[in-house]
Amino acid sequence: MSSDVFNVLVLVPFPMSADQLAKREEQRDEANLPKNIQLHYQTTKAAPSNYVSAMDYVIADIGLLEAGLDAEEDGFDAVCIDTVSDSGAAALRSILDIPVIAPGRTMFLTAMMLGQRFGVLSMWERWFGLYERTLRELGIEDRCAGIRSIDTQPDSRNLFTGKEEEVMPRLHETAVRLIEDDGADVICLGSTTMHQAHEYLQERLPVPVLNPGPLSYLTAETTLALGLTQSRKAYPRPLVSKTKMISEMLAAAAISEQTEDRS
Amino acid sequence: MKRVAVIVPFALGEADLARRRAQTGEVSLSADIEYDFVPVKAGPSSFQSHHDWLLLDVAVLEAGIRAGESGVDAVVVDTASDSGVEALRSVLDVPVVGPGRASMLFALTLGKRFGVLAQWEPALARVDKSLTEWGLRGHCAGVEHFDTEPDFEKLIGDKGGEVIPKMEAACRRLIKSGADVICLGSTTMHEAHGVLVERLPVPIVNPGPLSYKLVELFLAMGISQSRRAYPEPLVPKPEMIHAMLESVAEGDSH
């Protein structure tokens, strides 16, 4: 069977500069992606300042939904969400027929293919609610050995740049506690923004370390190659799809953010 | 070029092996990986009792160790029962993929509750055992069979006209029970996958081809099963395992 080229839209959940986006795009080189996968990164028009409350989750959901609305019409073969929160994925799945890959869900289920109980390594305790939400939704709370953080407020735009020496050893130490104290046999990185630490951690830890962004790209390729997509029965369509309303809402949100200068 | 061994759970001859190998044509695979189909040396005649399952565990373990000794980069087991997978993972460092557990977990990336299509009534016990072992019972909407004795050598072959409507009816029962994704309960059903996909409104996971794609994914990411989850034996006994299987290799009368 010949390999088709698959164009995958990667939705980045914050508006950001080209330099900042380049740091997200580095993930494409971390997965030995097959040549037939072309990644196209696109940011949302507006976003919460971080993902720590129910209000933030809702803003993230609507921002990512809007960013992916036209993906199919624009000729993309799949969408990957560049956040472990899986924000917007369920809503996008309800209106797109192309696969929408949710990295959080995918990472936890892949971890269960490699071990018995995974641990989630996070930057910040205030992100725990996001993981707990997905684990509850999937009904796999009992497969999670623990969630630990290095108690550091993350920089979702600049990532670890300039802070590597301080952050990496602490992530390592915390991952060891997940393995030794909590019984994790696979480590899941708690954010796609932690991708810069993946290689460092994998070289030093005795268990598989899952890098959610690159994993989502490879999962997109797998899903497409198998001719699969999300189940319409699990993600039914709306009776009336309000795409225009959603676009206008986000355009308004972007203007509001410029006015307030609080992006 | 990387090499992947696909362990076939029956001591098949070349013609029957080709029907298994046909699964690699059902999905676009990396040109940098070669799939080598390796049959077990001997095994059970049926697949419906603890006696059969245990024999297959040992037979797959032996074939997988053989593959590992020949320097393969990964091992796939061509049965959705994942026979031998756990034991192989305890002795091999390269990725070992079983299509059964993987197809159920992959189904959960696409939907909320999967249904399992089983071959016939005697196959239900193995699916039931798997759901318990893998802790996925709560995610399973149901298991339905299509009441057709399996032919592990000829697979569906020319019986499609008669068998596929029964498979479709069983899938529809699964959907009615709340399944939003269907897992084919055996890699031997792969010949029916294309037709079922055309006729049914939910994704259908074809376990064999999925297992090849997952091997590619694990190799691309440089990851393998966790040694913490699958600890090594204190004293591995590969010679003993080889001796047992060589003593009963097909061709002998048993």
| Residue ranges of A 70-109 with Cβ closer than 8 A to chain B | 101-102, 105-106, 109
**pLDDT score for B28:** 85
Are B189 and B219 found together in one domain?
no
Are B187 and B236 found together in one domain?
no
Are A83 and A97 found together in one domain?
yes
Q: Which of B104, B177, B226 to mutate to test the interface with A (most CBs of A within 10 A)?
A: B226
Contact at CB, B139 and A139, closer than 8 angstroms: yes
End-to-end Cα distance, chain B: 39
Are A111 and A201 found together in one domain?
yes
Q: Which residues of A touch B176 (CB under 8 A)?
A: none
Contact at CB, A232 and B202, closer than 8 angstroms: yes
> Which among B80, B25, B211, B209 has a CA at the least distance from the CA of A226?
B209
Sign of CA dihedral B47, B52, B53, B58: negative
**Domain assignment present for B254:** no
Are A92 and A115 found together in one domain?
no
Rounded to the nearest angstrom, the minimum Cα separation between B168 and chain A is: 17
CATH code at position A251 = 3.40.50.1860
CATH code at position B44 = 3.40.50.12500
Rounded to the nearest angstrom, the minimum Cα separation between A210 and chain B is: 8
Burial (0-12, 13-18, 19+ Cβ within 10 Å), A165: exposed
Number of folded domains that form chain B: 2
Query: Where in the sequence is the domain holding A108, given as residue range(s)?
Result: 104-211
Asked if the C-beta of A203 comes within 8 angstroms of chain B's C-beta atoms, the answer is: no
Contact at CB, B229 and A186, closer than 8 angstroms: yes
Query: Where in the sequence is the domain holding B24, given as residue range(s)?
Result: 2-98+209-247
Are B108 and B202 found together in one domain?
yes
Are A136 and A221 found together in one domain?
no
Judge whether A104 and A78 are in contact, CB under 8 Å: no
For the residues A109-125, what does the mean pLDDT come to? Answer: 97
Q: Is the pLDDT of residue B251 over 70?
A: no
Confidence of residue A153 (pLDDT cuts 50, 70, 90): confident
Number of folded domains that form chain A: 2
Are A203 and A228 found together in one domain?
no
**Domain assignment present for A1:** no
Are B31 and B66 found together in one domain?
yes
Judge whether A225 and B220 are in contact, CB under 8 Å: no
Q: Is the pLDDT of residue A246 over 60?
A: yes
**Domain assignment present for A132:** yes
Are B194 and B136 found together in one domain?
yes
**Domain assignment present for B193:** yes
Question: Three-state SS across chain A?
Answer: CCCCCEEEEEEECCCCCHHHHHHHHHHHHHCCCCCCEEEEEEECCCCCCCCCCHHHHHHHHHHHHHHHCCCCCCCCCEEEECCCCCCCHHHHHHHCCCCEECHHHHHHHHHHHHCCCEEEEECCHHHHHHHHHHHHHHCCHHHEEEEEECCCCCCCCCCCCCCHHHHHHHHHHHHHHHHHCCCCCEEEECCHHHHHHHHHHHHHCCCCEECHHHHHHHHHHHHHHCCCCCCCCCCCCCCCCCHHHHHHHHHHHHHHHHHHCCC
Contact at CB, A113 and B97, closer than 8 angstroms: yes
Are B117 and B31 found together in one domain?
no
Return the structure tokens found at A255.
Answer: 């203007």
Contact at CB, B28 and A229, closer than 8 angstroms: no
pLDDT in tens, B33-46: 999 999 999 999 88
Report which residue type is found at B70. Answer: S
Q: Is the pLDDT of residue B254 over 50?
A: no
Return the structure tokens found at B51.
Answer: 């006696």
Judge whether B218 and B95 are in contact, CB under 8 Å: yes
**pLDDT score for B177:** 97
Judge whether A34 and A221 are in contact, CB under 8 Å: yes
**Quick count: other Cβ atoms within 10 Å of Cβ B13?**
11
Are B132 and B173 found together in one domain?
yes
**Domain assignment present for A26:** yes
Are A95 and A50 found together in one domain?
yes
**Domain assignment present for A164:** yes
Are B193 and B227 found together in one domain?
no
Please report which helix (H) or strand (E) contains residue B142, including its range: strand B140-145
Are B111 and B189 found together in one domain?
yes
For the residues B129-139, what does the mean pLDDT come to? Answer: 94
For the residues B155-165, what does the mean pLDDT come to? Answer: 79
Q: Which residues of B touch A115 (CB under 8 A)?
A: 225-226, 228-230
**Which residue of chain B has the CA closest to A1?**
B28
**pLDDT score for B196:** 96
Are A22 and A76 found together in one domain?
yes
Are A85 and A123 found together in one domain?
no
**Domain assignment present for A92:** yes
Q: Which residues of B touch A110 (CB under 8 A)?
A: 105
Asked if the C-beta of A42 comes within 8 angstroms of chain B's C-beta atoms, the answer is: no
Q: Which residues of A touch B97 (CB under 8 A)?
A: 113
Q: Which residues of A touch B220 (CB under 8 A)?
A: 31-34, 218
Confidence of residue A260 (pLDDT cuts 50, 70, 90): low
**pLDDT score for A263:** 46
Q: Which residues of B touch A186 (CB under 8 A)?
A: 226, 229
Highest average pLDDT, of A42-51, A182-191, B21-30, comes from A182-191
Q: Which of A96, A205, A231, A232 to mutate to test the interface with B (most CBs of B within 10 A)?
A: A231
For the residues B235-242, what does the mean pLDDT come to? Answer: 94
Contact at CB, A214 and B217, closer than 8 angstroms: no
pLDDT in tens, A191-226: 999 998 999 999 999 999 999 999 999 999 999 999
Q: CA dihedral defined by B69, B74, B77, B80, rounded to 10 degrees?
A: 160
**Which residue of chain B has the CA closest to A202?**
B223
Report which residue type is found at A12. Answer: V
This prediction's pTM: 0.90
pLDDT in tens, B80-94: 999 999 999 999 999
Are A47 and A108 found together in one domain?
no
**pLDDT score for A3:** 52
**Domain assignment present for A44:** yes
**Domain assignment present for A73:** yes
Rounded to the nearest angstrom, the minimum Cα separation between B249 and chain A is: 32
> Which among B154, B191, B210 has a CA at the least distance from the CA of B6?
B210
The more confidently predicted of residues B188 and A76 is A76
C-alpha atoms less than 13 angstroms from C-alpha of B249 in its C-beta half-sphere: 10
**pLDDT score for A74:** 98
Are A97 and A108 found together in one domain?
no
Contact at CB, B108 and A138, closer than 8 angstroms: yes
Cα-to-chain-centroid distance, residue A176:
23
Judge whether B2 and B74 are in contact, CB under 8 Å: yes
Rounded to the nearest angstrom, the minimum Cα separation between B251 and chain A is: 36
Burial (0-12, 13-18, 19+ Cβ within 10 Å), B174: buried
Cα-to-chain-centroid distance, residue B116:
13
Are A156 and A244 found together in one domain?
no
Q: Which residues of B touch A36 (CB under 8 A)?
A: 28
Are A108 and A190 found together in one domain?
yes
Are B22 and B94 found together in one domain?
yes
Task: Read off the DSSP letter of residue B252.
Answer: B
Q: Is the pLDDT of residue A262 over 80?
A: no
CATH code at position A126 = 3.40.50.12500
**Domain assignment present for B200:** yes
- As beta bridge partners, residue B205 has B183
Contact at CB, B226 and A231, closer than 8 angstroms: no
Asked if the C-beta of A249 comes within 8 angstroms of chain B's C-beta atoms, the answer is: no
Are B115 and B90 found together in one domain?
no
Contact at CB, B226 and A186, closer than 8 angstroms: yes
Contact at CB, A109 and B106, closer than 8 angstroms: yes
Q: Is the pLDDT of residue A261 over 60?
A: no
Please report which helix (H) or strand (E) contains residue B34, including its range: strand B33-39
Are B104 and B152 found together in one domain?
yes
Contact at CB, A233 and B220, closer than 8 angstroms: no
How far is the C-alpha of A263 from the C-alpha of B57, rounded, in Å?
57
Judge whether A84 and A191 are in contact, CB under 8 Å: yes
Confidence of residue B27 (pLDDT cuts 50, 70, 90): confident
List the single residue in B209, B219, B226 with the smallest CB-CB distance to A226.
Answer: B209
Rounded to the nearest angstrom, the minimum Cα separation between B29 and chain A is: 8
